[in-house]
């Protein structure tokens, strides 16, 4: 099983590159010229993301560095305990929506502390793997194309994250037991 996963992750990207180049050549696409033309857009997009990302990351990091985030997370604990969820994963669930690097750090820490094959370790891994950092996706995707009014996107994204967290808990509980 593991060998297969490793094999796939090793071969997947080269296979995609090879396939697109082969198919493009066969369809008589000027591959190199198309590549350059498409690539140029990438530079523009990367630069236009900067102000959005700076704004968002600074605000999030003030919130985190001041200790306000820890305070919010402490508030979530009794709620988690009420439905039998280990309170240790609550910070991860909250941070997962806001900051990807912080969440990855927390997941690593939980796995290191409780062991990868513990209930908490498996739950942390599943939470980390099954959702994206909503705030980051929102900032980057909308920032890159200059969307300023997000409509219901943030609400929908956050609710989906909460749902995903609850589902992860029950699935891990059901598949592996406590």
Q: How far is the CB of 11 from another protein (least distance, A)?
A: 11
Question: Does residue 154 belong to the site contacting another protein (CB under 8 A)?
Answer: yes
Nearer to another protein, 71 or 82 (CB): 71
How many CA atoms lie less than 13 Å away from 89 in the CB half-sphere?
25
Question: Does residue 94 belong to the site contacting another protein (CB under 8 A)?
Answer: no
Question: Does residue 17 belong to the site contacting another protein (CB under 8 A)?
Answer: yes
Please report, as residue ranges, which positions from 106 to 145 form the binding site for another protein (by CB under 8 A): 107-108, 111-112, 115-117, 121-122, 125-126, 128-132, 134, 137-138, 140-142, 144-145
Q: Would you state the structure tokens that stand for residue 34, as one six-digit string?
A: 């198309």
Q: What is the DSSP string of 58-119?
A: HHHHHHHHTTHHHHHHHHHHHHHHHTT--GGGHHHHHHHHH-HHHHHHHHHHHHHHH-TTSH
**In what helix (H) or strand (E) does residue 155 lie, and over which residues does it extend?**
helix 153-176
Question: Does residue 16 belong to the site contacting another protein (CB under 8 A)?
Answer: yes
Write the CA distances from 151 to 147, 154, 155, 162, integer angstroms.
Answer: 10, 8, 9, 19
Nearer to another protein, 79 or 147 (CB): 147
Please report, as residue ranges, which positions from 28 to 47 form the binding site for another protein (by CB under 8 A): 29, 31, 34-43, 45-47
Candidates 73-81, 82-90, 151-159; binding stretch for another protein (CB under 8 A): 151-159
Q: How far is the CB of 91 from another protein (least distance, A)?
A: 17
């Amino acid at each position: 099983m593991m060998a297969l996963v490793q094999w796939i992750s090793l071969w997947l990207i080269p296979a995609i590159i090879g396939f697109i180049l082969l198919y493009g050549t066969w369809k008589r696409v000027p591959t190199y010229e198309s590549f350059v033309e498409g690539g140029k857009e990438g530079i523009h997009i990367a630069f236009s993301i900067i102000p959005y990302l700076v704004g968002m990351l600074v605000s999030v990091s003030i919130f985190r560095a001041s200790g306000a985030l820890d305070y919010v997370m402490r508030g979530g604990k009794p709620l988690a305990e009420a439905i039998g969820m280990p309170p240790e994963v609550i910070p991860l669930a909250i941070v997962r929506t806001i900051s990807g690097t912080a969440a990855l750090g927390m997941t690593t820490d939980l796995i290191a502390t409780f062991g990868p094959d513990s209930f908490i370790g498996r739950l942390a891994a599943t939470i980390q793997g099954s959702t994206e950092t909503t705030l980051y996706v929102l900032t980057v995707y909308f920032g890159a194309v200059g969307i300023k009014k997000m409509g219901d996107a943030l609400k929908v994204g956050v609710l989906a994250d909460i749902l995903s967290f609850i589902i992860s808990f029950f699935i891990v509980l059901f598949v592996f037991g406590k």
